[in-house]
């Protein structure tokens, strides 16, 4: 469980890291194509959920950017 996992989603980079924080076992960082990073310490209780939450957050960021441009 010491592996750092990465994936891309809609040109964003997702990095999921094992990190115990309260009831969460994984954190994640999302990085936009322009280099903007956001870190979530309580990303999920398993790797799959952390990736799902990261993708949800990316979708929200893209929609927010679309509404404000």
pTM of the model: 0.90
- Is residue 47 helix, strand or coil? helix
- Is residue 2 helix, strand or coil? coil
**Is 15 or 65 the better-scoring residue by pLDDT?**
15
- Which residue, among 42, 60, 63, has the nearest Cα to 16 in the 3D structure? 42
Q: In whole angstroms, what is the distance from residue 68 CA to residue 57 CA?
A: 16
pLDDT, tens digit, 9 for 90 and up, residues 15-56: 999 999 898 999 999 999 999 999 999 999 999 999 999 999
Instruction: Look up the domain containing 50 and give its range.
Output: 5-67
- Give pLDDT, residue 69: 82
> How many domains are contained in the chain?
1
Which residue matches tokens 């870190």? 39
């Amino acid at each position: 469980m010491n592996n750092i996992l990465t994936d891309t989603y809609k040109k964003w980079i997702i990095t999921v890291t094992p990190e115990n924080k309260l009831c969460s076992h994984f954190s994640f960082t999302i990085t936009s194509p322009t280099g903007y990073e956001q870190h979530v310490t309580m990303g999920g209780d398993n790797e799959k959920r952390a990736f799902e939450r990261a993708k949800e957050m990316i979708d929200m960021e893209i929609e927010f950017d679309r509404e404000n441009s």
